[in-house]
């Protein structure tokens, strides 16, 4: 399964769909984009609130935001996407970024 570490090796993105393709799902092969984000923290019950912002590299405004290490799905444009993850670990703010490439719409995964 393809994966990518975030900055400081405190986050990881697991790309369940092997590659990411722009456009609304399903993709040409009938599958969907799926990415799962995980942040490192020491929580006994395994739950933490992670805020995630996704934007095209170089853009100032996020395209989408979601929480709790959810999955990314549809991307309106191809290119390099930056995911900024933020959470608290023992009351201390943590931030990490992960860049993932999204292929043009219509690309066969």
The domains of the chain are located at 3-103
pLDDT at 26: 85
Q: Kindly report, residue by residue over 50-96, the tens digit of the pLDDT.
A: 888 889 988 888 787 776 655 667 888 999 999 999 988 888 899 99
pLDDT at 28: 84
The CATH fold assigned to 3-103 is Immunoglobulin-like (2.60.40)
pLDDT at 44: 55
Instruction: Count Cβ neighbours within 10 Å for each residue of 67-81 and write b for 16 or more, e otherwise.
Output: eebeebeebeebeeb
Place 47 in a pLDDT band, splitting at 50, 70 and 90: low
Residue with tokens 């989408």: 64
Give the C-alpha separation, 43 to 91, whole Å: 11
């Amino acid at each position: 399964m393809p994966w990518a570490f975030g900055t400081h090796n405190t986050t990881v993105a697991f790309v369940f769909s092997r590659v990411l393709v722009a456009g609304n799902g399903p993709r040409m092969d009938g599958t969907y984009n799926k990415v799962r984000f995980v942040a490192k923290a020491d929580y006994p019950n395994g739950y933490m609130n992670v805020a995630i912002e996704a934007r095209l590299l170089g853009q100032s405004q996020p395209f989408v935001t979601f929480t709790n290490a959810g999955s990314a799905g549809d991307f309106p444009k191809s290119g390099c996407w930056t995911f900024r993850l933020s959470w608290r670990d023992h009351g201390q703010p943590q931030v990490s970024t992960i860049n993932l490439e999204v292929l043009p719409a219509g690309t066969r995964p």
